[in-house]
Chain A
Amino acid sequence: MSPRIIAANLGVRLKSFYRERSAMFFTFAFPVILVLVFGTIFTKPEHLNFDLPVQDNSRSEASSRLLEALAAGDAFTVKPVPVAVDATQYAKEHKLNLLLVIPKNFEVLQKQRVVGPHAGVPVPLDYVYDPSSTAVETKIQLLHAIVAAANQKATGSPPAITLNAVSILSERYRFIEFFVPGIIAMAIMTSCLSSVLNMNAELLQKGILRKLATTPITRADWLASSIVYQLILAVVSTAAILLVSYFVFDVRLHIGIWLPLILVVEVVAFTGIGMLLTPFAREAESASAVANAFLFPMMFLSGTFFPVEMMPAFLQTFAKLLPLYYVNEALRSAMIFVDDAATLRSVGVTAAFAAVVFVAGTFRTRWDEST
């Protein structure tokens, strides 16, 4: 392996990358945009607030108390619905996924519930909902929780059971803190796989590799320069993600010695996979298809966007076969939980995988028949 040749290759690649503005934009800006979008959505989940249309047919003191209870917890902003309209039709016409209907005799029923022949009979409240809506389940759960609290309060007795939260983390973390390490892992994986496959396919298609085969460049020089190049991109991309996360969302993650080590093993692993897949992607068009076939399952099944625990058991088992899962685990263990033992385990699995694909990738890299 020649440092002179590696430096020459690196120079050409970095110049090409710098001059290809669209590649530069998508390599660095895409993960940053993801952080901005998801960060904006999930930064403050404790202040989750939904509009709740309510048709108050009772217009009584009892219904006013109920509306106050609904609005009190910050979960809902009550929006009045005209009493004269049909609630179901109104929900359809206005594309409402949940509409609460307070009956006209709500106050009377409340009083009858306390004394008389109907004592103890619960007061019914109807809600009209759209089962095809993805958000409605959460809103219904919140509504049930508020009604249950109101019921419990109406009994006048203190709650039988209460919950106290004890976090395993020393600091309070939001979703964005868990999301950022996943985005770092995903950005590096995407850059390594796509870049190696596309670059090799382009060089092969144009015959540049055939020219390089008549120079003193060896396979090891070529692989090493690819890895160093990807490592530089990984460092810049990670720095951009962390800086945007910090300045926009005040995300504070632990940045220690593990982070550069994880970046190195991830770059080697995914550059190796890229080299291994190169023979299947001999043209630019097939390179994108091959890259996507590997990127998408890993992106969505490795716990980058949502926890692996949410998936069915067989997919959880599959996820644990994917290298990105261990990179995600390593980054979160190192940057959030600050758990050296867990980080070491995940880094160890990733490093072993990286060593295997690197060696295999080296043997699979051919630009002439004599190598």
Chain B
Amino acid sequence: MPNTGPAIVVDKLCKYYGANKAVDNISFTVKSGEVFAFLGPNGAGKSTTAEVIETIRVPTSGTVTVLGMDVTKHKAKVVRRIGVLPQNFSSFDRITVRESLQYFARVFGCRADVDALMDLTDLRHKSGAPFNTLSGGLKQRLGIAIALVSDPEIVFLDEPTTGLDPHARHQIWDVLRGLKARGKTVFLTTHYMEEAELLADTVAIIASGRIVAMDSPAKLTEEHAEQTRLTLTSIDATAVGLIRSLGFSPIPKGNDSLSVPIKTPDDVRRILAEIERAGLALGGLDVRKPNLEEVFLKLTKTPAVSAQVRAA
């Protein structure tokens, strides 16, 4: 039955491992057709939440509905309508790419177009290669192709680019853009800000088992990030007074650098014109827009979480 409501509804979800609270009373809704990124440092609870939604784990309390079905009561029906790329995906070592796709198609009892799936994930040239001979990026792409074998309405991708080199990561992003273009609902867990910013319609930031912010990347940035900053390097110390006289609040950084919060491109022109008029030397400049990483670091700023984020 086609789903007309939200793809996923999580309501007051808690998950304990013994006395350890992995997920702490979280609620959110994923709309049909959107890319929902679940962002958090390692151990924040994002994979546990995803695994509860994917029917692998049982919630300690709260409810999770997928396509209108309670995951604890309708596992058999739910798994037929979702596709999952688990964290650290692996498959049968000596089974080829084509055979793996055929195997999962038989398991789901569907007539999957294996060639089309290999084309979508750019795996056609590796169709006869056994799994244990594939590179990390190719394995992840096969995992995504397998997740799509039953033409699911929701695709769960748990850290699909972790451990991949930049080239392989960009290839995975191309595949995700393809899914988005096909109107799939994508539930993406990641600790890469750039990934979420580029691909997601909605981002939920989770830290220590709690959702600390949730909105579109643009709104999160607008709401939580600092202003755009102009950084001036190798500049005379007298520039501080000059820029202040224009109504800005420059912050000295090191011996000969200044950081100036600005609002518009015209602010940059005004400051540079004044420096030129005063005949002050200027070594270099950099204009940095606020980004999701800044928001993330700000919202997850506990010592332990910050350390994890830096490590990630």
Contacts and interface: CB of A to CB of B under 8 A. Distances in A.
Do A and B bind?
Answer: yes
Nearest to A7: B106
A370 B95 contact: no
A216 B86 contact: no
In this complex, the interface size class of chain A, counting residues with CB under 8 Å from chain B, is 20 to 34
B86 A19 contact: no
Contacts of B90: 206-208, 211
Given A216-B107, A370-B72, A15 B56 contact: no
Contacts of A214: 54-56, 79, 82, 84, 86, 156
A122 interface: no
Nearest to B106: A8
Given A216-B109, A370-B58, A8 B86 contact: no
B234 interface: no
Given A7-B106, A214-B56, A217-B107, A370 B88 contact: no
Contacts of A7: 106
Contacts, number: 77
A208 B82 contact: no
B106 A369 contact: no
Nearest to B104: A215
A345 interface: no
A207 B86 contact: yes
B76 interface: yes
B99 interface: yes
B162 interface: no
Q: Chain A interface mostly helix, strand, loop or mixed? A: helix
Interface string B57-76: 11000000000000010011
Contact of A369 (B58, B94, B95, B99): B58
B108 to A, nearest CB: 6
Most chain B CB within a 10 A radius of its CB, from A5, A12, A217: A12
A12 B93 CA distance: 10
A208 B91 contact: yes
A20 interface: yes
Contacts of B91: 208, 211
Contacts of B173: none
A206 B72 CA distance: 25
A12 B86 contact: no
B130 interface: yes
Contacts of B12: none
A11 interface: yes
A172 interface: no
B298 interface: no
B94 A210 contact: no
B80 interface: yes
B89 interface: yes
Given A16-B93, A207-B88, 8 more contacts: A16-B94, A19-B94, A207-B90, A210-B86, A211-B89, A216-B76, A216-B109, A368-B56
29 contacts: A5-B106, A5-B107, A8-B103, A8-B106, A9-B107, A11-B106, A12-B95, A16-B94, A16-B95, A20-B94, A207-B86, A207-B87, A208-B90, A208-B91, A208-B92, A210-B56, A210-B86, A211-B86, A214-B54, A214-B55, A214-B156, A215-B79, A215-B108, A216-B79, A216-B108, A216-B109, A368-B57, A369-B56, A370-B57
- The 5 tightest CB contacts between A and B, nearest first, are A8-B106, A206-B90, A19-B94, A214-B84, A368-B56
